Amino acid sequence: MAALAVFGAWDTPAAAQPLTVTALGDSLTQGYGLPQEEGFVPVLEGWLRERGHDVNVVNAGVSGDTTAGGAARIDWTLADEPDALIVALGGNDLLRGIAPAASRANLDAILAAADAAGVPVLLAGLPAPGNYGPEFKRDFEAMYGELAAKWEALHYPDFLGPVGEKAAQGLSLSELMQDDRIHPSAEGVRQIVAAIGPAVEDLLDRAVQEVPPPGN
C-alpha cells in the first residue's frame, strides 16, 4: 500500500504555482505617502485576486528612481525570476528634465534584459508637460509606444490616466492626489488600478503562455 501511495504521488501533477508579477518603478509604484496596504502594488494584487487571478505582485518601486536607476537594477530584479514585469518609470526623468534620448536608452536596456530572460512586459508611459518644449514632449511620449513595439511588449499610455482625464475636464484633483500634487491619494490609486488592471490581465495571459506546465 505504501508503494502504491508513493506511485500515486509521482503520478499526480504538481499544483500550479501563483504567478509573480514584479512592478519596477518609482514612488508611484512604491506607494509614497500612503499606508503600505493602500499603495499601488497591494491594491493591484487585491484587484487581480478579486477577479480570480492567482498572483503575487512584488513591489520593486524605489522613490526618486529614474529610468537610469531602473536600468541599473534590472538584472537583480530579473534574478528573482518573475513571470511578468510591469515597467513604470520616467516621472523623475521629467522632473529633472533629462533628455528623452537618455530615457529611451535606459528603457530600451530594461526591455532588452526582460526579453533575454523571456519575461513579458507591460510598459506604462506618462505624458510630458509642455514647459520643456514641443520636441521634448513629442520625443518623451513617443518613446513608450515605439519601444513597446520594438520589443513586442504591452503598452499602457498613461499610468496616471484617471488623474489626467479629470484634469483635462477642469475638475478638482483634491480627491485623487496628495497635497504635493505629485503622488496619488488612496482613492487615486484605486482609480489608477481599476484603469490599468485590464492591461495587467493581458500581461498575465502572456505570462501563462510563457510558463511551462508542471512537471516539464
- The average pLDDT across 58-76 equals 97
Which of 11, 172, 179, 180 is flagged as catalytic? 180
213 pLDDT tier (thresholds 50, 70, 90):
low
Active site residue 183: yes
Which of 65, 93, 139, 183 is flagged as catalytic? 183
Of residues 46 and 170, more confidence is placed in 46
Going from N- to C-terminal start, the domains of the chain cover 20-210
Query: Given this model, what pLDDT does residue 172 score?
Result: 62
Active site residue 83: no
For the chain, the C-alpha Rg in angstroms (whole number) is: 19
Which of 26, 27, 53, 139 is flagged as catalytic? 27
CATH superfamily of this structure's domain 20-210 = SGNH hydrolase (3.40.50.1110)
Give the model confidence (pLDDT) of 150-196 as tens digits.
999 999 999 998 887 766 666 566 788 888 888 999 999 999 999 99
Mean pLDDT, the chain, whole residue set? 89
Length of the chain: 216
Long-range contacts of 36-41 (CB under 8 A, 24+ apart): 38/186, 38/189, 39/189, 40/189, 40/192, 40/193
Asked if pLDDT for residue 33 goes beyond 70, the answer is yes
User: What is the residue whose three cell numbers read 529611451?
Assistant: 104
Query: Given this model, what pLDDT does residue 109 score?
Result: 98
Of residues 6 and 155, more confidence is placed in 155
Asked if pLDDT for residue 8 goes beyond 70, the answer is no
Give the model confidence (pLDDT) of 82-140 as tens digits.
999 999 999 999 999 999 999 999 999 999 999 999 999 999 999 998 899 999 999 99
H or E segment to which residue 20 belongs: strand 19-25
> Under 8 Å CB-to-CB from 44, ≥6 apart: which residues?
23, 57, 193, 196, 197, 200
Rounded Cα distance, 63 and 80, in Å = 21
